[in-house]
């Protein structure tokens, strides 16, 4: 059975005329009739009543018509899905980057790449899950903060990477009734307990814990709230729930307006690189073209 035979009989259902349908199907009328006969032979029953005009389906034809429609529909949808997969560039990234970095970055890429079809997924529970989805081919690239431990970059057999930009994490807190920071970390007494808000993340991709252990080992940071998005953390800090390190891109306006204040000096800021990771064995043409275009774009920034 051939797909074109199903498309032939569906065309005849619409026109009721062999000549017209053969023209629509870009085939001679005798060839069109032969193809329909082949279909009937394959089904094992007469499908078309040819005794009058317009041509009609037999009872067997009426039973077969919805089957033909579904097969043709599924074939077309599969073709569309495969084409879309071949053209679409699929990313995974942290929710904060999905909101505040990816949109502008993809816009900047338009002049360097041919496709405008993108898929961006976030919400994986850990960096291991992000990398697993990369290895399994669920996504093409992972955009995240550079791994402070170097574990990803050191796995050169599996992954390669490019730095896309730099973000600064800023310690912020709400103002007290006097308009001063509710907590000023450099002046906190040793042993003080500081309410701390943070995103769901593995320290590997969000290096605040390393910073706290190194700079404030004499203080106790008590987690009081966690969320998957930095924007939600920011709102809770504004409402006075504690201290958080949040990307400057998210809190810059709030610092200007006074809705948030720094909880420490700029020396306490944490610079983090934004990096895109690729699984080396993924050598699909669309992935390779995108990667090469990205290399050229980043080189032009130097």
What integer best gives the mean pLDDT of the chain? 85
- Complete domains list, the chain, with CATH: 3-87 (1.10.10.10), 90-302 (3.40.190.290)
- The answer to whether residue 249 scores a pLDDT higher than 80 is yes
Give the rounded percent of residues in the chain with a pLDDT score beyond 70: 89
The residue with greater pLDDT, 249 or 258, is: 258
Alpha-carbon Rg of the chain, whole angstroms?
A: 30
Predicted TM-score (pTM) of the model is 0.62
pLDDT tens by residue, 188-246: 999 999 999 987 655 444 578 888 888 899 999 999 998 877 888 999 999 999 999 99
pLDDT tens by residue, 260-288: 999 999 998 988 889 999 988 888 888 88
How many of the other CB atoms lie within 10 Å of CB of 113?
17
Three-state secondary structure call for residue 82: helix
pLDDT tens by residue, 45-55: 999 998 888 98
Burial 115-148, CB ≥16 within 10 A → b, else e: eeeeebebebeebeebbebbeeeebbbbbbbbbb
């Amino acid at each position: 059975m051939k797909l074109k035979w199903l498309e032939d009989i569906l065309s005849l259902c619409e026109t009721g005329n062999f000549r017209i349908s053969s023209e629509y199907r870009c085939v001679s009328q005798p060839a069109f009739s032969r193809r329909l006969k082949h279909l009937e032979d394959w089904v094992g029953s007469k499908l078309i009543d040819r005794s009058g005009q317009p041509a009609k389906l037999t009872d067997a034809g009426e039973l077969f018509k919805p089957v033909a429609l579904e097969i043709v529909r599924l074939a077309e949808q599969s073709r569309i899905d495969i084409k879309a997969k071949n053209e679409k560039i699929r990313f995974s990234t942290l929710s904060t980057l999905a909101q505040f970095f990816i949109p502008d970055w993809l816009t900047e890429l338009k002049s360097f790449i041919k496709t405008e079809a993108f898929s961006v997924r976030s919400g994986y529970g850990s960096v291991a899950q992000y990398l697993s989805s990369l290895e399994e081919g669920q996504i093409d690239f992972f955009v995240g903060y550079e791994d402070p431990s170097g574990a990803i970059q050191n796995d050169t057999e599996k992954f390669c990477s490019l730095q896309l930009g730099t973000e600064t994490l800023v310690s912020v807190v709400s103002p007290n009734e006097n308009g001063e920071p509710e907590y000023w970390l450099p002046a906190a007494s040793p042993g003080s307990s500081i309410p701390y808000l943070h995103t769901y993340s593995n320290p590997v991709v969000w290096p605040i814990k390393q910073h706290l252990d190194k700079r404030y080992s004499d203080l106790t940071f008590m987690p009081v709230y966690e969320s998957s998005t930095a924007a939600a953390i920011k709102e809770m800090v504004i409402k006075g729930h504690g201290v958080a390190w949040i990307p400057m891109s998210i809190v810059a306006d709030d610092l200007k307006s006074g809705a948030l204040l720094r909880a420490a000096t700029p020396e306490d800021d944490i610079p983090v690189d934004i990096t895109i990771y690729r699984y080396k064995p993924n050598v699909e043409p669309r992935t390779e073209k995108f990667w090469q275009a990205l290399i050229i774009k980043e080189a032009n920034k130097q």
